[in-house]
Structure 1
Amino acid sequence: MIFRGFVQLTAITTGAILIAACNQSPSTDTDAANSENNEASTSADSDLLQRINNGGVINVGTEGTYPPYTYHNEQNELTGYDVEVTRAVADKLGVSVEFKETQWDAMLAGLDAGRFDMVANQVSLTTPERRAKYDVAEPYNWSGAAVLAPKSDSRFNAWESLKGLKSAQSLSSNYGEMAIKYEAEVVPVDGMAQAIELVKQGRADVTLNDHLAILDYLNKFPDSDLEVKLVAPAEEKRGSGLVLVKGNDEVLAKINEAMTELQADGTLTKLSEQFFGEDVSKR
């Protein structure tokens, strides 16, 4: 009996030790991994801040194929609204900027992997997952829905004016849904270019699309005889700014300060008018 009791006690004690070990091991491994990740993140953040403080080089991800925001001109030089704003920010920070061109689908993955320090490509933090992972600096442009129609059409004084009008829209777009919301008769199209042609031909009364996209078209085709009739109210507009991985608080503050200065000295207004024909830097 004494021997049996000893064996039972030994088994229980050994089991308790094994259970404790099993419970502790994953936690220890996880803590170690988290610690390493935090140290790596802190190191990367410190490196970026140090480069900015020392007048170094910042790496910025962009597409290079998305006019008028980021594209190559006739001389094959990278330019565009987002590109030139980023260069202006770099000048304010006293650093050089090196653009890393990449595909849209790889934009945030490249940011995660540390291939670049920030992204300048009209990236919007529209999902909770993105907002939890990234920070966006002070916006350098604002946009929302807008209505495009012939200059001679004077029927527009509110969004409700769309009721009963023919609106050329892609059925799968948010703007198509807006047209239906305001009881317009939707004329299906494949995209914005076709929609505009239908409006010019009189086969549709209007088309709804992103305000900046419409301004870009009007800037390129000033003789189109079309104009913006309605624009979304300020509270419905979305802003776009430089995007960074969370944790770069000091860097973000420096970028925001630079953006405020560019707004105050008229640089953003000048660049807006250059690429869009009007100031899009204010909400």
Structure 2
Amino acid sequence: MKKKIMKAFISCMIIVGISGCKSANSNAGKSASDRGSTIVFGMAKSNAPYSYYKNGKLTGYDIEAARAIAKKMGYKAKFKVMNSALLTKALDQGEIDATGNQQVVEYLLNTKKDEKPPYWFTPEYKFSRLVVVARSSNTSIKHFDDMRNLKMAMTTGDFFEQSVLSDGGIIVPCKDFDECVDKVLNNQAVGTMNDLQTYQYYHNKYPGKKVKPVVISASLFPMTFMLSQENEDLSNKMTSAINSLQSNGTFTKISMKYFHQDISRKDR
């Protein structure tokens, strides 16, 4: 499963280039230029530390990265937050111009071999590892496929839920990672899966919770922004901005703020 994701992403990049995976079909919807130089980003509403509300304000690594990209391009950033399962649909319907979070991996997971996805993908702006989290006393889960036939607490509609299903796990639905961990601690589920930064953020917030990472993927998964096929010009501008922000250390600064490590680069 984890190798399939990496192969799908790499194949897409090789077929049509890092900023240009798309099909020839057309979708309706206004582009960013039609909105008066405002880029509308779609983000998951409860996805700390990437996109979440703190003291009533939307914040997180993906939010700050998106704002920096828009500023570099001379655009204004606007955000529409929603359930992660609705982000790709919103992109297809022209409600948003781009989406971050883990949507690129979720989409490629369901892409057929040699199929050209109907989206533009920017260069990577973060890299992550998958992690399975269980109670501190757990000794039975040592590999991803050990989740087979086990109850796993998962946020409904995200990539990690699909990954657990592919490994044979039984889903206990939750609204966010905090609830997932609560159900693990209350013995309503054996474990949960997310990315390593999400777990570390939770652990720093609740250091006394008796959970631990039991499996961590060896590979780093690249994450990009996805854009509608209507927005080739915007994708090219975004690609240029992201490359510049990688070079000048902007993403590194944002990453250090949230994680005390640089998740914007794969050489770590």
More helix by share: 1
RMSD value, Cα = 4.6
State whether structure 2 residue 62 is matched by structure 1 residue 62. Answer: no
Which residue number corresponds to residue 206 of structure 2? 221
- Contact preservation (8 Å) 1:176, 1:208: no
Q: Which amino acid aligns with 2:238?
A: I
Shift of residue 112, structure 1, vs aligned partner? 2.9
How do residues 1-283 of structure 1 correspond to structure 2 at under 5 angstroms? 48=33, 57-63=37-43, 65-68=45-48, 69-74=50-55, 76-124=56-104, 125-126=107-108, 127-128=110-111, 132-148=117-133, 169-170=152-153, 174-175=163-164, 196=181, 207=191, 209-211=193-195, 212-224=197-209, 228=213, 230-234=215-219, 237-283=220-266
Q: Which has the higher contact order (CA 8 A, sep 6+)?
A: 2
- Contact preservation (8 Å) 2:133, 2:214: yes
CA distance in 2: counterparts of 1:210 and 1:70, whole angstroms = 15
Structure 2 residue ranges without an equivalent (≥5): 1-24, 155-160
Work out the number of aligned pairs and report it. 226
Shift of residue 254, structure 1, vs aligned partner? 2.2
CA distance in 2: counterparts of 1:100 and 1:243, whole angstroms = 15
Q: 1:174 to 1:112 in 2, by over 3 A?
A: closer
Compute the TM-score of the two structures, normalised by the length of structure 2: 0.61
- Deviations 1:263-283 (Å, cap 9, x if unpaired)? 233322232233344332233
Q: 1:78 to 1:194 in 2, by over 3 A?
A: closer
- Contact preservation (8 Å) 1:147, 1:207: yes
Which residue number corresponds to residue 12 of structure 1? none
Q: Which amino acid aligns with 1:98?
A: K
CA distance in 2: counterparts of 1:271 and 1:128, whole angstroms = 31
Q: Which amino acid aligns with 1:61?
A: F
- Contact preservation (8 Å) 2:145, 2:167: no
- Contact preservation (8 Å) 1:219, 1:277: no
Shift of residue 117, structure 1, vs aligned partner? 2.0
Of the structure 1 ranges 223-232 and 265-274, higher mean CA displacement relative to structure 2 is found in 223-232
Q: Which amino acid aligns with 2:69?
A: V
- Contact preservation (8 Å) 1:93, 1:255: yes
Q: 1:255 to 1:63 in 2, by over 3 A?
A: closer
Q: 1:131 to 1:222 in 2, by over 3 A?
A: farther
Question: Secondary structure of the residue that 1:85 maps to in structure 2?
Answer: helix
Q: 1:102 to 1:87 in 2, by over 3 A?
A: same
Higher-Rg member (1/2): 1
